[in-house]
Structure 1
Amino acid sequence: MKTHFIAIGGSAMHNLAIALKDKGYQVTGSDDAIFEPSKSRLEKKGILPAEMGWFPEKITSDIDAVILGMHAHQDNPELAKAKELGLKIYSYPEFLYEQSKDKTRVVIAGSHGKTTITSMILHVLNFHQKEVDFMVGAQLEGFDCMVKLTQDNDFMVLEGDEYLSSPIDLRSKFLLYQPNIALMSGIAWDHINVFKTFDDYIEQFRKFVASITPGGILVYNEEDTEVVKVVENAENYFRKIPYKTPEYEITNGKVYLKTEMGDVPLSVFGAHNLLNLEGARHICQTLGIMDEDFYEAIMSFKGASKRLEKVEREDKGTLYKDFAHAPSKVKAAVKAFCEQFKNEKKYGFLELHTYSSLNPVFLEQYDHAMDGLDNAVVFYSEDALKIKRMEPISPELIKEKFKNENLKVFTNAEELHAYWETLDKTQGVYLMMSSGNFGGLDLTK
């Protein structure tokens, strides 16, 4: 089968391209910019484009499938050529469904926690050498590629994202998977640039639950009121399995899960991660993994990439980085950090740089998000606001919305970096929350 990727360099797209190459497909692609690690990984497989840019001549009538990434625009010249030739054009999730429509599909959804839960499930299955196809959005220890597609595996585990499928398919990605088994971890307004109201956002999850195949299974977080409302109002038939935060304790900085089989030591911390773990356990049960085997495997789970991930610093200081940027994720990360290091001086840094997080209306969702930290810092770039053609935001407004008078606010990367240099990183503990890089800050030094 001959496939062509428009925007092959994306974190998800390049993993799919590699998976198809490994499956024996003929793979080509284009992009206007490709960064590491995508660049090296594509090059290693021999599918890195020779030059950057869009080349309509690459689109030929013998291509079986064109896979369109969100990074491309509606007026992309390669997309126009594909339409002109009448080629089959797939969004990323649409193509994954085509590859898995004869398998049992397990879809993990939610505003927060879905990457970690999916990673936990895959870690347990990999530990016990249970073969499944999968797609997850973060790099996981022990896995070379975060997409796997085979002819033989019976199950496919998919991280279900509520964001749009492609520039020409404005459905939420997870609505294309039609799960046999699903999990919903939580609902908290996100992607305000696409979903203008909270109800519009919730509607995507209502549709997701409605897309569960008849007689399927939904594992859901019974501690989330919005999730419970969606589940209770669902009209289709499926089995409902609720879960909640399990009992645990922290002894000498180590988290122990309280189970019928005794205390289970964990390598992750935070109530939200214990909640994620419980959801993963129920999904693994549906896949034939007994609790004893689940606990044996989960002890060695160290977390998904950039999810409360410890950074090895040259000075041996204690620093964790987290992908958190949406309000619910920030609050969960801060709460976990403060609980884990309650006797230490705690520094928390948050970078706002997505469309949603820089929207004055959406900023209200961050109220008290940094509470509990001894030293809280928010950084956003005034240049980023200009590039996004957004109105200026004052540091005073940030403090007001966060409801934190002691908040330090930086709008210039150089000033942030200068402040960073004044801190002794061997004193206290540090939590760095961003889907960016704080204007190029090196967290290892």
Structure 2
Amino acid sequence: MKVHFIAIGGSAMHNLAIALHLKGYEVSGSDDEIFDPSKGRLAKYGLLPDSIGWDPARISKDINSVILGMHARADNPELAKAQELGIPIFSYPEYLYEQTKNKKRVVIGGSHGKTSITSMILHVLQHNHVKHDYMVGAQLEGFECMVSLKEDSTIAILEGDEYLSSPIDRRPKFHLYQPNIALLSGIAWDHINVFPTFENYVEQFQIFVDKIEPNGDIIYYDGDENVKLVAQKSRADVSQIPYDTHPHRIEKGITYLLDEEREYPLHIFGEHNLQNVSGALNVCLRIGLSKGQFYAAIISFKGASKRLELVTQTSSSLMYKDFAHSPSKLKATTQALKDQFPDRKLIACMELHTFSSLNKDFLDEYDGAMKDADEAFVYFNPHTIAHKKLTPISKEDVKKAFNSENVRVYTSSEELTNLLKEKDWNDTNLLMMTSGTFDGVDFKKLGEELFT
């Protein structure tokens, strides 16, 4: 089987390319820019294109399939050549479905928590030596690749993203997987550039639930009214399985799961993670694992990369980084760290970096999102707004939108980090939240400078 990737350098695309290579496929690819870690990982497996840019000569009749990444444009010359030759063209999620259509597909959807829940399930399955295919949106400890496809597995665990599939397929990715078991963790408006109203956004999750296979399951967080409404509209043949925050207690900064007479200490913490644990538990029970197998595994789960990831610590301070950028994620992550260490001061920093977060019409969604921090700093780069061709926003616009006295706004990353370096970090924790890098901040180095 010969497969060509257009835009092979993407986070998801290069992982699928590696997975197919490991499966024995002949893989080629192209891109107009490839950065690390994708670049290094593709090179490791001999999959890095020999030149950067698009070249129709790469496309020939002996290619069985072309996989088109979201980064490419609809007028891509390699795509045009493939269309001319009649080569089957797939989006990333379409091809994942083709690879797993004869397996039991578990698809984890939701505006927040889907990467963490998927990661928990994968950790439990690996711990219990259960063969499975998977796709997850973050690097996990103990996993070489973010995608795995094998001939002898009967289960596929897929993270279900609601963003668009490809430049020529405007359907949300999770509409294409047709799950046997679906999970919905929460619905909070995101991707305003694609879903201009909240009602339109919610509709995508209803379509996702409608696409559950006959006699399938919908596992859903019972504490989210929008999720409940969507899940309870599922067909009569679909089993509805609600879940809530897992019973627990917190002592000296450690969270313990409570199950009957037993307690299980966790590396992770926070209300959302305790909801995620319940969701993952319900999935694992539906695919045949026992409670005992789940709890024995989950105590060693340390979280997915960039999801409340510990950067550095001292006896009186901790620094975490998190991928949080949407209002609901921001609120949950800030609250989680404050609740876990109530006797410590919390300084939280976030970067407005995504299209939605920098959109003036979306800013008001951040109302109160960082109120649980003792001090909160919001950073944005005006050049990023110009690059995304958005309406300019001011510091005053951002301050007003967050609507919290503890919030200060910066447009210089250097000024913000210099401010952090002047602070006393005794009995104080730091939380850095962004889907970017605060314009190139080395978080590990910053933590060492602050805490030593």
User: TM-score normalised by the shorter chain: which range applies?
Assistant: over 0.9
> What whole-Å deviation, never above 9, does each CA across 1:73-124 have from its counterpart, x for those lacking one?
1111111111111110000000000001111111000000000000000000
* Match in the other structure for 2:170: 170
* Match in the other structure for 1:281: 281
Would you say the 8 A contact 1:314–1:444 is kept in 2?
no
Q: Please report how far the alpha carbon of residue 416 of structure 1 lies from its aligned counterpart in structure 2 after TM superposition.
A: 2.3
| 2:192 aligned partner, one-letter code | I
Would you say the 8 A contact 2:248–2:258 is kept in 1?
yes
Partners of 2:358 and 2:307 lie apart in 1 by 22
Partners of 1:210 and 1:381 lie apart in 2 by 40
Query: Between the two proteins, what is the percent identity of the paired residues?
Result: 56
| C-alpha spacing 1:178/1:70, structure 2 compared with 1 (3 Å) | same
Q: How does 1:122-133 map to 2 (within 5 A)?
A: 122-133=122-133
* Match in the other structure for 1:358: 358
TM-score by length of 2: 0.96
Partners of 1:317 and 1:48 lie apart in 2 by 42
* Match in the other structure for 1:161: 161
Q: How does 1:171-210 map to 2 (within 5 A)?
A: 171-210=171-210
Would you say the 8 A contact 1:214–1:236 is kept in 2?
no
Q: Please report how far the alpha carbon of residue 136 of structure 1 lies from its aligned counterpart in structure 2 after TM superposition.
A: 0.5
| C-alpha spacing 1:122/1:25, structure 2 compared with 1 (3 Å) | same
Would you say the 8 A contact 2:382–2:411 is kept in 1?
yes
Partners of 2:317 and 2:426 lie apart in 1 by 4
| 1:305 aligned partner, one-letter code | S
Q: Please report how far the alpha carbon of residue 152 of structure 1 lies from its aligned counterpart in structure 2 after TM superposition.
A: 1.2
| 1:204 aligned partner, one-letter code | Q
* Match in the other structure for 2:407: 407
TM-score by length of 1: 0.98
Partners of 2:158 and 2:395 lie apart in 1 by 40
What secondary structure does 2:443 align onto?
A: coil
What secondary structure does 1:111 align onto?
A: coil
Q: Please report how far the alpha carbon of residue 54 of structure 1 lies from its aligned counterpart in structure 2 after TM superposition.
A: 0.8
Would you say the 8 A contact 2:270–2:336 is kept in 1?
yes
Would you say the 8 A contact 2:111–2:188 is kept in 1?
yes
Q: Please report how far the alpha carbon of residue 415 of structure 1 lies from its aligned counterpart in structure 2 after TM superposition.
A: 2.1
Would you say the 8 A contact 1:321–1:431 is kept in 2?
yes
Partners of 1:355 and 1:380 lie apart in 2 by 12
Partners of 2:430 and 2:357 lie apart in 1 by 22
Partners of 2:40 and 2:424 lie apart in 1 by 35
Partners of 2:141 and 2:22 lie apart in 1 by 19
RMSD: 1.4
Partners of 1:25 and 1:16 lie apart in 2 by 11
What secondary structure does 2:350 align onto?
A: strand
* Match in the other structure for 1:115: 115
* Match in the other structure for 1:264: 264
Aligned length: 445
Q: How does 1:382-393 map to 2 (within 5 A)?
A: 382-393=382-393
* Match in the other structure for 1:420: 420
Partners of 2:398 and 2:406 lie apart in 1 by 11
Q: Please report how far the alpha carbon of residue 318 of structure 1 lies from its aligned counterpart in structure 2 after TM superposition.
A: 1.4
* Match in the other structure for 1:36: 36
Q: How does 1:368-387 map to 2 (within 5 A)?
A: 368-387=368-387
Q: Please report how far the alpha carbon of residue 414 of structure 1 lies from its aligned counterpart in structure 2 after TM superposition.
A: 2.9
| C-alpha spacing 1:154/1:262, structure 2 compared with 1 (3 Å) | same
Partners of 1:370 and 1:295 lie apart in 2 by 32
Structure 1 residues 137-146 or 235-244, which shifts more?
A: 235-244
* Match in the other structure for 2:237: 237
Would you say the 8 A contact 1:5–1:66 is kept in 2?
yes
| C-alpha spacing 1:143/1:426, structure 2 compared with 1 (3 Å) | farther
* Match in the other structure for 2:448: none
Would you say the 8 A contact 2:232–2:240 is kept in 1?
no
Partners of 2:104 and 2:145 lie apart in 1 by 21
* Match in the other structure for 2:90: 90
* Match in the other structure for 2:19: 19
Would you say the 8 A contact 2:5–2:67 is kept in 1?
yes
* Match in the other structure for 2:69: 69
Gaps of 5+ in 2: 446-452
* Match in the other structure for 2:135: 135
Q: Please report how far the alpha carbon of residue 426 of structure 1 lies from its aligned counterpart in structure 2 after TM superposition.
A: 5.5
Would you say the 8 A contact 2:18–2:42 is kept in 1?
yes
Q: Please report how far the alpha carbon of residue 146 of structure 1 lies from its aligned counterpart in structure 2 after TM superposition.
A: 1.2
Q: Please report how far the alpha carbon of residue 314 of structure 1 lies from its aligned counterpart in structure 2 after TM superposition.
A: 9.7
| C-alpha spacing 1:339/1:315, structure 2 compared with 1 (3 Å) | closer
Q: Please report how far the alpha carbon of residue 394 of structure 1 lies from its aligned counterpart in structure 2 after TM superposition.
A: 1.3
| 2:352 aligned partner, one-letter code | L
| 1:279 aligned partner, one-letter code | G
* Match in the other structure for 1:295: 295
Gaps of 5+ in 1: none
Q: Please report how far the alpha carbon of residue 7 of structure 1 lies from its aligned counterpart in structure 2 after TM superposition.
A: 0.6
Q: How does 1:204-223 map to 2 (within 5 A)?
A: 204-223=204-223
| 1:225 aligned partner, one-letter code | E
Structure 1 residues 253-262 or 85-94, which shifts more?
A: 253-262
What secondary structure does 1:393 align onto?
A: coil
Partners of 2:401 and 2:251 lie apart in 1 by 36
